[in-house]
Amino acid sequence: MLRITMIGSGAIGLSVLSLLKNDPDVSIDSVIVAPDTLDQAREQVGAIAPQAQVVTGLAEVAQRPDLLVECAGHGALRAHVLPALEQGIPCVVVSIGALSDVELARQLEEAAKRGKTQVQLLSGAIGGIDALAAAKIGGLDSVVYTGRKPALAWKDTPADGQFKLEALTEPTVIFEGPAGEAARLFPKNANVAATLSLAGLGLDRTQVRLIADPTSKENVHHVQASGAFGSFEITMRGKPLAANPKTSALTVYSVVRAIGNQAHAVAI
């Protein structure tokens, strides 16, 4: 039985709980939430996993977990993942966009080393990460990521104001440049670019193109990579999570898969 403490009871966390509640090899023992959401979280988590203890920090968890699973956003890495790694607790992280902060990425690695454990970065909404990471070993020359979303999905970003999003009639490039700059300017859209960068050429050499498309009703991720291995292209048209249209459903499934790979007898 794999005993898990999860961070977050938002759309991703609750969806993961629902998908795992009947897995005989997994026990969600506790869920860490922000203090101002404690009462609501206890009600929501209790409806799905009544055995789970809902707390505000790792120190309150009754039994040391076998795995800490982060589903809460960038701030959770500093608040909860770093201390867990220092204590030797392995962690799974969804909010990879936070690692566009090179110093935070270094701190996570150092904490894992000191704790003699490991932090696993999930693929989330994008596929092909296994192929990209393998290609890096032989030598990568180029990685280009194109993210396409409906025009109004870019509201409240730097594109809002630079472009009249509501008036666009055709696909428009709103950003083109290195992944590090894309993550800084568009932090809520940073996870895919950061994931590709960490698996491949890094934040400075991974190229990003972001498109506001008034003709699209879905989020489209396109990756082109080439190097000594040859080349590949992958296009993913992600359906949103029903509980939160800003989140890809595949992100939830990637969390469940990662947990299953640690809990089950066979992993792939």
Tens digits of residue pLDDT in 76-103: 999 999 999 999 999 999 999 889 888 9
Q: Assess whether pLDDT exceeds 80 at residue 243.
A: no
The contacts of residue 8 (CB under 8 Å, 6+ apart) are: 31, 32, 33, 70, 71, 72, 73, 76
The contacts of residue 60 (CB under 8 Å, 6+ apart) are: 30, 53
pLDDT at 73: 86
The CATH superfamily label for domain 2-121 reads: NAD(P)-binding Rossmann-like Domain (3.40.50.720)
pLDDT at 215: 92
Indicate which residue of 80, 221, 222, 264 is catalytic: 221
pLDDT at 199: 95
Q: What residue numbers does the annotated binding site for NAD(+) cover?
A: 125, 191
Q: pLDDT category, 234, cuts 50, 70, 90?
A: very high
Q: Assess whether pLDDT exceeds 90 at residue 33.
A: yes
DSSP 15-40: HHHHHHTT-TTEEEEEEE--GGGHHH
Q: What residue numbers does the annotated binding site cover?
A: 125, 191
pTM tops 0.85, yes or no: yes
DSSP 175-201: EEEEHHHHHHH-GGGHHHHHHHHHHTT
190-228 pLDDT, tens digit each:
789 999 999 999 999 999 999 999 998 888 999 999 999
Which part of the chain has CATH 3.40.50.720? Answer: 2-121
pLDDT at 246: 67
> Assign residue 28 a region: left if phi > 0, alpha if psi is -120 to 50, beta otherwise?
beta
Six-digit token pair at 163? 């472009």
Distance CA 144, CA 140 (A): 11
pLDDT at 184: 87
147-181 pLDDT, tens digit each:
999 998 899 899 998 999 999 999 999 999 999 99
Q: Residue 202 to residues 29, 32, 74, 107, 132: CA-CA distances in angstroms?
A: 36, 31, 19, 17, 12
Of 122-126, 167-171, 187-191, 227-231, where does mean pLDDT reach its minimum?
Answer: 187-191
Of 23-37, 101-115, 140-154, 235-249, where does mean pLDDT reach its minimum?
Answer: 235-249
Which part of the chain has CATH 3.30.360.10? Answer: 129-243
Q: Assess whether pLDDT exceeds 70 at residue 2.
A: yes
Q: pLDDT category, 183, cuts 50, 70, 90?
A: confident
Q: Assess whether pLDDT exceeds 70 at residue 41.
A: yes
pLDDT at 189: 79
Residue 74 annotated among the catalytic residues of the structure: no
pLDDT at 245: 64
* Average pLDDT score, the chain: 93
CATH 3.30.360.10, applies to 129-243: yes
pLDDT at 158: 92
